[in-house]
Structure 1
Amino acid sequence: MSKVAVLADSGCQIEIQGDHPGIYIAPLTITMNNKTYLDQLEIQSLDVFKAMEQDEKLMVQTSQPSTGELVKTLEQIKADGYDEVIGIPIATGLSSTLNGMKVAADMVGLPITLVDSKGTAREQRELVLTAHSLLEKGKQIDEVVPVLEDMIAHSGTIIMVPNLEHLKRGGRITPAVARLAGLLKIVPVMELNYELGGKIDSLAKVRTLKKATRKLADRAIEKGANAANYKFAIEHVLCEESALELKAYLESKIGACDVLVRELPAVVGAHMGIGGVGLQFVKSEG
């Protein structure tokens, strides 16, 4: 029977230096002021967001783990006695990490099965933890992958971005769209389109932050998320008050639920900008 490790990137918010045998995390990269940092190892999300808060024109660039870091991680997996790998990277619509994992695994000579998370943050984290749990119970890769795919099919990410400047700088939207939204005082609500590998897609345009925030919860409920079968995350960029208001609204609609409130991963929050809020819902295993 093969010994299988789980490989992810730091977008899943599992600590790279934490004690979690069988789970390996490669750091995404963040570049600010012409200096590149390894996510979680050399810089944390709050460091990035506070720098953005101090300098509104700061350009933050993000990218997949380098081939060198992926090879280093996979070599460690091999040295630890694993024969195969399940790779669960950040959404292909947001990053090329999936392809990078495949290239690095080929270089190291480890068979790898790749599952596009089509998301990041808590959704990706739950996929990683579920895969690891099933492997620990003796499940084989061909038994684990369908469980993960079902979770992905019943999960979602909806975001609200008060200021489109950072999305414009990162090339996620055109300058014309950003300018028009600013002139009309529109607060866009978007979601990750899972049919497109997790690319950012427009959902609604509302006039107030309160309406935009509530739209996140309404959309999750519309798509079937509930307190009994789902876990939630409300993640933000230096706007905890808005995140907590969203949590209260969500619970007023569906009752007490498993909901985590925390900051977004730097590689996502850097493009959403200060005030950005995301709501994730992920179906529990089974």
Structure 2
Amino acid sequence: MSFGENLRFLRTESGMTQEQFAEKLEVTRQSVSKWESDNGFPELEKILQISRMFGCDLDTLLQGSVCEKKRTDTEGYDRHMNRRTRMISVGVTLCILGVAGAAMLDALVSTRFDLAGLALFALVIPGVLILVLSGIWHGQYQQEHPHIEPFYTPEVLAAARRRFPIFIVCGTGLLLSALLVWIAADYLFGELADGAGLALVAIGVGLLVYGALDHAKYQVEESYNQAVIEEEKAQSDPRDILAGRLCGIIMMAATIIFLLYLFLGNGNGRSDVGRVAAAVYATGGLLCGIVSVWLKRHEP
């Protein structure tokens, strides 16, 4: 596609007339008409302004095909975000299921924590690796595609809005079921209550995470583009950098405390592995939130 064809495509896609576009560039409508018919060429300053206005790189605008690039970008965005949603949901679910499995084995098997620890690491390690890989791939994608034009049709957006409450209701229902399991532990589940409840929590949280990420995927401007801008700001803000480091230290400390409890501090009787894990990591998350808020309110 020529520059004029690319310009016409971008203008019509944005819903602007030649008059409206000319007004934004502070040129005449006749100039825009000449550019789009390839009978004239704008000044470099105007080309840069057009590039910024439509979020299009200069190479594509001047020599490539904007239409083809947009089709490739939109297909790639949808595919990437679907993969990210699945990976994060599975990673979070595996991490919680690891604790659930450890709690169940600890209640059933009397050989201290060998099998419980094996179940924990067999699920938590893959879960963490999946989450790390998802974060790396998403960061790379953001660097390669710092801006995505919203492209989902009203019909697709409406279907996503109808689908979102289903995930929320199902996930919340499983979390409430876990509470019932823990409340009725002495009557129905006995020592398996911790593990069974955590298994329900794992699936419920997985559904909630999946629903939230799937819903956010369709908010291209608010969720993706704004997140890229905020990420760029965070990289230059020393408070955000410090908050990230402190939160990493807090969560590593929480993991060390939990592992010490799991292997050294639980005696030979029935364990409360699930509840201890929930308490330790919930406390770690709360401390991370407090640190982040405090740093936002105070200059380092």
TM-score above 0.5? no
- Normalised-by-shorter TM-score class: under 0.3
TM-score (norm 2): 0.21
As a proportion of its length, which structure holds more strand?
A: 1
Structure number with the bigger relative contact order (C-alpha 8 A, sep ≥ 6) is: 1
The structure with the larger Rg is 2
As a proportion of its length, which structure holds more helix?
A: 2
